Amino acid sequence: MIVCKFGGTSVANAEQIKKVFNIVKSNPERKVVAVSAPGKRSSEDIKVTDLLIDLAETALLNGDVEAKIATVVKRYDDIAAGLGLDHMMAEIIATDLEERVAGDKSNRDRFIDNVKASGEDNNAKLIAAYFNSQGIPARYVSPKGTLILNDPPERTFALPEAYDNLSQLKKTEEVIIFPGFFGYTKNGVLRTFDRGGSDITGSILASAVGADLYENFTDVDCVFSANPKVINNPAEIKEITYREMRELSYAGFAVFHDEALMPVYKQGIPVNIKNTNNPSAPGTRIVPVRTEQARPVTGISADSGFSTLYVSKYLMNREIGFGRKLLQIIEEENISYEHTPSGLDDISVIMRSIQLTPEKEERIVRRVKEELHADAAYFRHGFSMIVIVGEGMRNNTGLAARATTAISSTGANIEMINQGSSEVSVVFGVYSQFEEQILKALYNEFFSPVNV
């Protein structure tokens, strides 16, 4: 059995949904399908989810909602028309939206979630209707009573009973069309996933039914070994392990949200990222273990927006608990950090700058000086992290030498090197102005035909 997920652009209009239909139809193993809300039809378009958020916020301000409801309904009606379905669906959707908008507004987040989730929910109903109209028996299944989530304010995740409930779907004869992005608490309250919503739904479904494969359909042919905006025609990644994918996701490999991988990762179910617009392309397979290792390096990614807290104190490394106390202060500011390179008498904490404010920085510096009696403590900003990832790296003598030599060739100074815990990555910290040059130099070192 294969579980498929189709993202927003894959279900943006009738033409796209026909592609989805043909993909599902072409392989009888494709029995469970998670769908997003209709996405952008062109780069200037507004996706349905954003229309719904705007609608919900207007309703909360007691604004005029009718025109906005009509805009959303029109999107579905156009799709239905393009698929040869009648106006019935649009009427059902209009009634559903009116009800949601008229619903309880006492909890703002809950109200917005409820309106927003209609995007996926109604799209799933519409797509199920289309499948049936084309002679492929299909059934819309609601997350209500099946995809059971934890209660707020904890980050949203599926409870064990969700997997039990959804495991029933493995017996299906019909194609199941399941809306992505949301579920319900035990008390029947609708909740959405924090990020990568429909990807997670597909991943949960794949895990619950014990799928042989989780196909994640999007609008790119594959995951590239480096950012195509920086590197011309970067190598395609045919196969990548979960942990390689995870390390790359650190710095802007946005194809697949890493949190969404968790349910399939736990079951060791392979994932295939494919293109709805080019389904014959093999795509990128994410697997537990990889056999093909033509290159030591699988991918290189980079991201800017990092800051460093530098702390020094003479004889620091004699002081049991120093590092722990420092991290406690960081934690009390609700900051997550990335790395903590250290010397004997100094330690740096690397974190995403977006988590900082001048007040937080000042408070942290003051506490570190007062409570830890540090000799020095200060922040530095404007760093990029560059990550080289590959299962073949660990035992590749000389890889660090090749990477550092390539970086030095750009004239950039290496501010930070972190190697030694992950078996599949090395992280370099540099000032952001060198990021692009370094990415190019590293790509050339590890991917150009003469160097491989």
**Positions that interact with its own copies (CB under 8 A):** 242-243, 246-247, 249-250, 258-259, 262, 265-266, 310, 314-315, 317-321, 323-324, 327-328, 330-331, 334-348, 350, 395, 397-398, 400-401, 404-405, 407-408, 411-427, 429
* 8 Å CB contact between 141 and 177: yes
Nearer to its own copies, 45 or 338 (CB): 338
Q: Does the annotation list 68 as a binding residue?
A: no
**Shortest Cβ 424–its own copies spacing (Å):** 7
Q: Does the annotation list 219 as a binding residue?
A: yes
> How far apart are alpha carbons 239 and 213 in whole angstroms?
14
**Shortest Cβ 283–its own copies spacing (Å):** 23
Q: Does the annotation list 6 as a binding residue?
A: yes
Q: Does the annotation list 77 as a binding residue?
A: no
Task: Kindly report the number of other CB atoms within 10 A of residue 304's CB atom.
Answer: 19
**Shortest Cβ 179–its own copies spacing (Å):** 25
CA 48 to chain centre: 19
Strand-pair partners of 284: 273
Q: In what order do the strands lie in the sheet with 148-149?
A: 148-149, 182-185, 190-192
**Shortest Cβ 152–its own copies spacing (Å):** 18
* 8 Å CB contact between 333 and 367: no
Q: Does the annotation list 218 as a binding residue?
A: yes
Nearer to its own copies, 58 or 419 (CB): 419
> How far apart are alpha carbons 440 and 337 in whole angstroms?
27
Q: Does the annotation list 440 as a binding residue?
A: no
Residues near 359 by Cβ (< 8 Å), separated by ≥ 6?
Answer: none
Task: Kindly report the number of other CB atoms within 10 A of residue 321's CB atom.
Answer: 9
**Shortest Cβ 334–its own copies spacing (Å):** 7
DSSP strand pairing (2-6 vs 213-218): parallel
**Shortest Cβ 311–its own copies spacing (Å):** 8
**Shortest Cβ 2–its own copies spacing (Å):** 23
Nearer to its own copies, 134 or 340 (CB): 340
Q: Could you identify the residue written with the tokens 């209609």?
A: 118
Nearer to its own copies, 321 or 358 (CB): 321
Read off the DSSP letter of residue 189: -
**Shortest Cβ 234–its own copies spacing (Å):** 21
For residue 298, which of 221, 203, 234, 376 has the smallest C-alpha distance?
Answer: 234
Q: Does the annotation list 308 as a binding residue?
A: no
Read off the DSSP letter of residue 158: B
Q: Does the annotation list 8 as a binding residue?
A: yes
Nearer to its own copies, 88 or 344 (CB): 344
Nearer to its own copies, 133 or 404 (CB): 404
Nearer to its own copies, 29 or 423 (CB): 423
Task: Kindly report the number of other CB atoms within 10 A of residue 186's CB atom.
Answer: 11
> How far apart are alpha carbons 213 and 430 in whole angstroms?
39
> How far apart are alpha carbons 309 and 330 in whole angstroms?
10
Task: Kindly report the number of other CB atoms within 10 A of residue 361's CB atom.
Answer: 16
> How far apart are alpha carbons 35 and 340 in whole angstroms?
40
Nearer to its own copies, 132 or 355 (CB): 355
**Binding site residue list for substrate:** 49, 120
Binding-site residue positions: 5-8, 49, 120, 218-219
Binding site for ATP: which residues?
A: 5-8, 218-219
